[in-house]
Amino acid sequence: MGIRWRKSSKSADDEGDACLELAEHDGEILMRESDNPGVVIHTTRAKLRAFLDGAKENEFDNLA
């Protein structure tokens, strides 16, 4: 079975080509850009959780 990529329903364009996608594979969390799927970042659940918690607390709002 292949990797099942998931993206937010809040993707930036109607085609879903301007977003980040996440997947879980072999105990790692994978992230890629939908318009450049050949580059994949491997991380852990703990690191992703820390990032998401920071995003929920508006720590990155100045970047968007």
- Condensed to tens digits (0 to 9), the pLDDT of residues 37-60 reads 899 999 999 999 999 999 999 999
Ordered by start, the domain boundaries in the chain are 19-58
- Condensed to tens digits (0 to 9), the pLDDT of residues 2-39 reads 899 998 887 766 665 678 899 999 999 999 998 888 99
Instruction: Return the percentage of the chain with pLDDT > 70, whole number.
Output: 89
For the full predicted model, state whether its pTM sits above 0.95: no
Which helix (H) or strand (E) element contains residue 56?
Answer: helix 45-56
